[in-house]
Structure 1
Amino acid sequence: MSRLFCLTSLILLLGIFSTELGSVSAAWLKAHATFYGGSDASGTMGGACGYGNLYTDGYGIKSAALSTALFNDGKACGGCYQIFCDATKVPQWCLKGKSITITATNFCPPNYNLPSDNGGWCNPPRPHFDMSQPAFETIAKYRAGIVPILYRKVGCRRSGGIRFTINGRNYFELVLISNVGGAGEISKVWIRGSKSNKWEVMSRNWGANWQSLSYLNGQSLSFRLQASNGGIRTALNVAPKNWQFGQSFKSNVQF
């Protein structure tokens, strides 16, 4: 197969993908992908974004850990990326015509004991996706281990409303926000107790966890979110006044 034919096929393939999914970033970028977590993706649960069970949090097995260059100190948590194996470089390892959209749910730490081109795949400044094994095997063969990919940022499609899990203790609400559609990434959060008419700005504690230092016990809780693309949604009275730490609540709003 000629290189010209491969490039022509790739261009046509990109055109098909462009019509199927509304893109957040039209530019296709180069990176590499590996996999982790086992054949059932059980090893991908939890992680640096703070999500627990990726099924109940709305993400399932279509997930990946991002390298430092992409993770952006947790600001990338919840974002979606369309990925396919670059068959123009490793046709023997790519599954022809297959792509997948994954959610950023974890951080792939650097390994400075290994060179960036031989084991230290997530070392800065490399963009890298350490995908769940089932997600990786959607686009490439297991035996490949690592493959070059093309990727772009896309919108996230979620089923149901945005989810809020309230942890912490008195005077410290640590709220995990998950199942976020649209841009997927949250840039700002506000909280309001039912005894106040003022929205309080929350701060990012880590990953997708946002904190408030107010005493909000015994009040129904409302949240206002701003996505990384500027969109804003307000979820009123998501948690009833008898909420308890450790509980999760699903809103009726979505991006």
Structure 2
Amino acid sequence: MAPAPAQVIAVVLLTAGYTALAAGSPPAPIVWQRATATFYGGADASGTMGGACGYGNLYDEGYGTRSAALSTVLFNDGASCGQCYKIACDRKIDPRWCKPGVTVTITATNFCPPNNALPNDNGGWCNTPRPHFDMAQPAWEKIGVYRGGIIPVMYQRVPCVKKGGLRFKINGHDYFNLVLVTNVATAGSIKSMDVMSSDSKDWVPMSRNWGANWHSLAYLSGKQLSFRITNTDGQTLVFDKIVPSGWKFGQTFASKVQFN
């Protein structure tokens, strides 16, 4: 139901007041958090392909060699897939293996599983409650010295920068539609996703299946589809009729719409 005119005015006034207050406030300080980082995947990062976010070939999907697997507390059951982090080696803790004055920005594309057979501080780097990045080797070597193996790092979430719009790859079969969403800018990660078919006027919620894959159990085969996505920053975009009728499983559909 649309708000009454008085309500609209009140909202506008409140918004204007908030904007003025925000404009006069100093910017929030940048907060760096501490973690550790190792590397995997080889010098060309070929061993990082696939992964628990479901992106498959990271070269083809545009993630390249700037990626990382996150420990349990950072991965958040896949909700962090696609998020971007700026990482620097922490020279204050251990300067031996740090390259000075450099940072690297990575995308979360995989999960680093815990190894509870080893102590948290001696091999069980991805055990709970440790924040840890198992980075693609080329990304890690931007900030760390190879012989170090594991380095202390500082990190912060940063907006993801992407070219073009979101992409949707549909896998699965009748009554099980598995949609992989890639190339998500700004927040990088998705909070919720809905689908609407050409023979319906209602949005149907989808569920996170694993990583960046969302599924619907409705019969959608061959129907024209629209998606509605809310990212983890609370922004919502509608991708109207992004999937044409007659589509086949295994196809990818690129949009021109992007978060900003």
Using structure 1 for the length normalisation, give the TM-score. Answer: 0.89
1:130-153 Cα shifts (integer Å, max 9, x gaps):
000000001111111000000011
SS at match of 1:40: coil
The structural deviation recorded for 1:200 is 0.8
1:210 aligned onto 2:219: no
1:179 aligned onto 2:172: no
- Residue 126 of structure 1 corresponds to 130
- Residue 54 of structure 2 corresponds to 50
- Residue 73 of structure 1 corresponds to 77
1:137 aligned onto 2:141: yes
One-letter amino acid of the counterpart of residue 94, structure 2: V
The structural deviation recorded for 1:159 is 1.0
Please tell me whether the aligned partners of residues 174 and 210 of structure 1 are also in contact (alpha carbons under 8 angstroms): yes
Match of 2:159 among 151, 155, 159: 155
1:253 aligned onto 2:254: no
Structure 2 unaligned residues grouped into runs of 5+:
1-26
Please tell me whether the aligned partners of residues 24 and 153 of structure 1 are also in contact (alpha carbons under 8 angstroms): no
Please tell me whether the aligned partners of residues 25 and 152 of structure 1 are also in contact (alpha carbons under 8 angstroms): no
Q: Distance in 1 between matches of 2:216 and 2:29?
A: 32
Query: Are the structure 2 counterparts of residues 221 and 125 from structure 1 closer, same or farther at C-alpha, using a change threshold of 3 Å?
Result: same
Q: Distance in 2 between matches of 1:50 and 1:163?
A: 13
SS at match of 2:237: strand
One-letter amino acid of the counterpart of residue 35, structure 2: A
Q: Distance in 1 between matches of 2:149 and 2:134?
A: 11
CA RMSD of aligned residues (A): 1.4
The structural deviation recorded for 1:222 is 1.1
Structure 1: 4+ residue segments shifted above 4 A:
none
- Residue 33 of structure 1 corresponds to 37
One-letter amino acid of the counterpart of residue 88, structure 1: K
Using structure 2 for the length normalisation, give the TM-score. Answer: 0.87
1:102-142 Cα shifts (integer Å, max 9, x gaps):
11100000001111111110010000000000000011111
Identity of aligned residues (%): 59
The structural deviation recorded for 1:89 is 2.0
Decide which structure has the larger Cα Rg and report it. Answer: 2
Please tell me whether the aligned partners of residues 58 and 178 of structure 1 are also in contact (alpha carbons under 8 angstroms): no
Structure 1 unaligned residues grouped into runs of 5+:
1-22
Q: Distance in 2 between matches of 1:168 and 1:131?
A: 30
- Residue 4 of structure 2 corresponds to none
Q: Distance in 1 between matches of 2:209 and 2:185?
A: 21
One-letter amino acid of the counterpart of residue 179, structure 1: N
Match of 1:195 among 199, 205, 208: 199
Equivalenced residues, count: 233
- Residue 114 of structure 1 corresponds to 118
